[in-house]
Chains A and B, each alone.
Chain A
């Protein structure tokens, strides 16, 4: 099982500030997903990145896949209280349909 390390574990910021969450591994992934999970619910997919160096934007969220496909980052610009939640990265390997999850980053955006 490939290990994914997320940092930081917890992040608390004021509304309007920017934040970045990191997801790192020593393994190469064919794809990397970012999910958001609310308490008592299942992970909800935000984005999938598959190409080294790929950058995807989803409104105020920017996702980047490292050139070597071993790491990824999630950047939120001008965070809002609605961005509060647990952000999970998960990596997949070609021809192996299971995902390896990071431990998650709990983001709290204070109004």
Chain B
């Protein structure tokens, strides 16, 4: 299956700035996800997106986070006002047609908040 492409691969930002991370999944998939991985820690679920709306979100996904699928292809994660603790790898993922919770992950966007 085609890959999931994420941009940027690395972004450095100042605390308090807005950040938008982008993902290009494939338009005929149903479920899209954002996960994050703080350095040295577990991969953590942030949010799932189905039929152009959030289907589930974790405690991490507070009011500072939002997701959009503005043009039916790109899938974005916005952090409104970044904090130091937002520094992490952010992974976009999409469901696999093989089902059974199988996900295909992008290579990730590394966010560094200074």
B interface vs A, CB < 8 Å? 4, 31, 33, 41-45, 48, 50, 55-56, 58, 89, 91, 93, 95-96, 98, 100-108, 110
Contacts and interface: CB of A to CB of B under 8 A. Distances in A.
Most buried by B among A40, A43, A92: A43
A33 B56 CA distance: 20
Nearest to A88: B43
Contacts, number: 71
Interface of A: 1, 30-31, 33, 35, 40-45, 48, 50, 88, 90-93, 96-104
Nearest to A43: B105
B100 A31 contact: yes
Contacts of A35: 105
Contact of B56 (A43, A50, A98, A101): A98
27 contacts: A1-B58, A30-B101, A31-B100, A33-B101, A33-B103, A35-B105, A42-B105, A43-B91, A44-B105, A45-B104, A48-B102, A50-B100, A91-B101, A92-B101, A93-B101, A96-B56, A97-B33, A97-B48, A97-B55, A97-B56, A97-B95, A97-B101, A98-B33, A99-B45, A100-B45, A102-B42, A103-B42
A101 to B, nearest CB: 4
Nearest to A101: B43
Contacts of B105: 35, 42-44
* Shortest beta-carbon contacts, A-B, top 8: A92-B101, A42-B105, A101-B43, A31-B100, A98-B45, A42-B108, A31-B101, A42-B107
